Structure 1
Amino acid sequence: MRLPLAVSLLLFVQCFGLAAHLHAAQQVDIYRAQALVKSQSESERNAAARATFGELIVRVSGQRDALDNPVIRAAVPNAQNYLFGFSYKSSSEKLIEGTRSFTALALQLDYEPQAIGKLLKDAQLPIWPAQRPKLLVWLVSKDQRGLSVVPEVIDMQALNSAASYRGLPLVFPKHDQTEEMLLSAGDLWDLNLEKIKAASVRYKADAILIGRYTPSSMGPIPPAVIVDPLATEIAATDIEAPGVPQENTSAATELPVEPSQGPWLAEWLLIHGDNQTTQKDETPEVKGLFNNAIEQAADYFANQYAIMPSSQGAQPIVLRIGNIKSFAAFKQAQAYLQGLAMVQRMEIVSVTAESVVVRLTTEADVRLLMNTLALGRRLNLVQENVASVVPQVSAGNEASSTEGEAPLPEGIDAEAMADFERALASEQMANGGAAEVAADDQTSDASVTAVVPAGSLQDPLVYVWQK
């Protein structure tokens, strides 16, 4: 495959850069629920289904108020009808009923995704797909002894419980010796973002949540001292947490922290790409801070990635995909796109010497599709102006020659590329001649002078496939 030099260089830089900080979203089993029951009776199982149904709907839809929907409320009494399987395991937990105690059984309930999807669609509620962003959580607390980057066990339990309820995968720092050299409690308390981001790279998370919390008896949380990485005259090690002696910081991490009395104050910073959102909170118990923080974070991500049924129905979005160097690579990209929850259908539009153009029929808009592709990290977005240097040629036609073409990239066999193009042409014929239709569309729209939306045949979204 002959690549123009500019495109070849761009692909190399992007692929090399991505490999250095590749993140990966996590697949969450959002259609599974757990419950403790006394026996394997049908009545116990149906009661457990009704009890867990609300949690499941909130997790799949991403909407905290989903149970207020009349369609969902009407479905709760028949929750068992949405199951496709269940299983039991032994448990050491006890259930108390009056004066009697029972050894509980752990019941796993598996709900049918298609049935739940139809219910949410009937209720006009969104579906937040199972591919969820991994959230790295940094916590720093302050008490009478100073700062501590090691939270109490109850803090972790509260975070994990809230995250499990919403289907949000969490990652926690290791706080090992290497990390302690990069980041101190004072750095976290001051929100030294340069150091926090540097220490976060190893976890390959999709977003970072930083929580600073303290009992209200310690006074308000002071404004963060954002360290300017360009201010070289001030060493980062000289920055101290406001009002906290530096020598107390390390000691606090080594000694057990005495239980403090509420109410509790917290400030949270959520970093997701170029977006930063802050939240202040006050609760009577410390676990309330973490429940609220996870709820807010889950609401944010659901707004970014949940698929809302459109009143306009399914719509087409066109992608131009580069770095497809074999038919096997194309099939991988095809399987990935067709596996997205929002994609109903994928058609091949055209093939060039540099790329493949596909039309996706989706239940989502361009913004949501781009957010989802960014989360998956399999397709890397190219700047829009790069599309102008890539000639568009329908499958089955000869690619137009361009001056300054680069030689065939090393490791790419010309004969294999010819087989690849023939295989794609055959694939197009199986899809009903989408390429010819696309060519007709382009001809008929050539005289249109109105602004063409991104993701159309005239202005496709340009991506590079990452293996």
Structure 2
Amino acid sequence: MRTPLRLCSLPLALLLWVLALPAQARVVPDLYEVVEAVPSRGTTDRTAASSRGLERVFVRVTGDAAIGSNPRLQPVLQRAQRYVQSYRYETEDNQLYLHLSYEPQAISEQVHKLQLPMWPNNRPGTLVWMAVDTLSDGRSVLRQEDYPELFAVLDSLAIERGLPVEFPVMDLNDQRNMPLGELWAQDEQAAERAGVRYGPDATLMGRLLQTSGERWQANWLLIHGGRSYAFDASGDSMEEVALRGINEAADLLAQRYAVRSDSTSQQSAVVLELSGIDSFADYTEASRYLQELAVVSSAGLLSINGDRMRVALTTSSRLQNLQDALALNRRLQAQADEGPIDLSGYRAPLGSAEHPLRYHWR
């Protein structure tokens, strides 16, 4: 059994030093790295590839698939080599490839300067279930082992959008927990039951229907954060309607979590109270996480009392954006709203010292 550590007895300088440490958040890797096919090692080809690669990075970072058409971004793309951190060449199957790594801080500065959305790299892991109904074979579950090319294309698109996805293995456990009929019906209870072994933050369910020899239709359902989003797609192939499902899911999640800064944004302090801080290790990990939040510009320790710590989070984001970001950390459990109401019926604003955001660290 762990012995609780009374954090209030620690030197304040040490506590502030810990608060400044980077967080150990679950993040999407390689947002700033791309590979471009090039015809030669020449400067002209490298310059063109750097511009194409930088546009792909901005798509991932902003969550906006059409960001390349934004006129404000064009001057940045024309000077793409300024943002290249490193590059190297590689040849595979007689094709020359250029591996490019871009400077994250420089790109973040441009996102802020151009007032573009910033999708933090701590993103919802999404479990994707799909069923198909073809004219020749009827209805079945889409399995990776049966359609390896399709799943490879979907995985590549997810990487391009910066969306972490996972596909069920469809073994006997998955078949029992997610029968074909419930998958086709897009049963949300079945999705919750079948997803337990994978622990996703979001679930995407798709049913793909071949309506004629060259026409396809798909119905998609994205389940995340207690909400459901339904959308449709149509196209000339199964691959096309499947790709549109991944794209639309990325759009929806980016719209929810992307933070947009502008010249009129005002910094504000939100008070957060965190219980369950039973040891110095808990304190260190929680402090790191809060300091690293993309929607937070600074985190200042206010007080420690027993297993509770209070922190002032400085942010220019809306309170809902901050709460959405906090909801992605499974170690944080939102607590019941206990804001006091005085005799006149007044309740202090949520996030104030009198009515802080309350979470439990688990």
On whether the aligned pair clears a TM of 0.5, the verdict is yes
Instruction: Tell me what 1:298 maps to.
Output: 250
The answer (yes or no) to whether the contact 1:324–1:330 under 8 Å persists in 2 is yes
> Quick one: distance in 1 between partners of 2:266 and 2:86?
32
Q: CA RMSD in A?
A: 2.4
Instruction: Tell me what 1:275 maps to.
Output: 227
> Quick one: distance in 2 between partners of 1:62 and 1:450?
39
> Quick one: distance in 1 between partners of 2:236 and 2:48?
33
Structure 1: state its 5+ residue gaps. Answer: 3-23, 93-102, 218-260, 389-445
Instruction: Tell me what 1:341 maps to.
Output: 294
Instruction: Tell me what 1:27 maps to.
Output: 28
> Quick one: distance in 1 between partners of 2:62 and 2:204?
22
Decide which of 343, 353, 356 is 1:460's aligned counterpart. Answer: 356
CA apart distance, 1:448: 11
CA apart distance, 1:35: 0.9
The answer to whether residue 172 in structure 2 is matched with residue 177 in structure 1 is: yes
CA apart distance, 1:168: 0.6
The answer to whether residue 294 in structure 2 is matched with residue 352 in structure 1 is: no
| Secondary structure of 2:204 counterpart | strand
Q: Structure 2 vs 1, CA of residues 184 and 44 (structure 1 numbering), >3 Å: closer, same or farther? A: same
CA apart distance, 1:170: 0.9
CA apart distance, 1:158: 3.2
CA apart distance, 1:305: 1.2
After the TM superposition, which residues 216-295 of structure 1 pair with which residues of structure 2 at under 5 Å, given as runs? 216-217=211-212, 261-295=213-247
Instruction: Tell me what 2:43 maps to.
Output: 42
Count of matched residue positions in the alignment of Structure 1 and Structure 2: 335
> Quick one: distance in 2 between partners of 1:308 and 1:447?
39
The answer (yes or no) to whether the contact 1:87–1:107 under 8 Å persists in 2 is yes
Identity rate of aligned residues, in percent?
Answer: 33
Q: Structure 2 vs 1, CA of residues 297 and 25 (structure 1 numbering), >3 Å: closer, same or farther? A: farther
Q: Structure 2 vs 1, CA of residues 371 and 216 (structure 1 numbering), >3 Å: closer, same or farther? A: same
CA apart distance, 1:155: 2.6
> Quick one: distance in 2 between partners of 1:453 and 1:362?
16
Decide which of 162, 168, 187 is 1:167's aligned counterpart. Answer: 162
Instruction: Tell me what 1:16 maps to.
Output: none
1:52 counterpart letter in structure 2: G
| Secondary structure of 2:190 counterpart | helix
Structure showing greater Rg: 1
After the TM superposition, which residues 308-347 of structure 1 pair with which residues of structure 2 at under 5 Å, given as runs? 308-310=260-262, 311-347=264-300
Q: Structure 2 vs 1, CA of residues 157 and 328 (structure 1 numbering), >3 Å: closer, same or farther? A: closer
After the TM superposition, which residues 28-177 of structure 1 pair with which residues of structure 2 at under 5 Å, given as runs? 28-92=29-93, 103-144=94-135, 145-151=137-143, 152-177=147-172
> Quick one: distance in 2 between partners of 1:339 and 1:117?
14
Structure 2: state its 5+ residue gaps. Answer: 6-24
> Quick one: distance in 1 between partners of 2:281 and 2:150?
47
> Quick one: distance in 2 between partners of 1:351 and 1:25?
26
The answer to whether residue 335 in structure 2 is matched with residue 382 in structure 1 is: yes
1:331 counterpart letter in structure 2: T
Instruction: Provide TM-score, normalisation by structure 1.
Output: 0.67
CA apart distance, 1:449: 8.0
Moved over 4 A (4+): 446-451
> Quick one: distance in 1 between partners of 2:120 and 2:322?
12
The answer (yes or no) to whether the contact 2:112–2:261 under 8 Å persists in 1 is yes
Instruction: Tell me what 2:22 maps to.
Output: none
The answer (yes or no) to whether the contact 2:276–2:361 under 8 Å persists in 1 is yes
Instruction: Provide TM-score, normalisation by structure 2.
Output: 0.86
1:29 counterpart letter in structure 2: D
| Secondary structure of 2:118 counterpart | coil
Q: Structure 2 vs 1, CA of residues 74 and 447 (structure 1 numbering), >3 Å: closer, same or farther? A: farther
> Quick one: distance in 2 between partners of 1:178 and 1:295?
28
1:150 counterpart letter in structure 2: L
The answer (yes or no) to whether the contact 1:263–1:283 under 8 Å persists in 2 is yes
The answer (yes or no) to whether the contact 2:202–2:224 under 8 Å persists in 1 is yes
CA apart distance, 1:322: 0.6
> Quick one: distance in 1 between partners of 2:53 and 2:218?
30
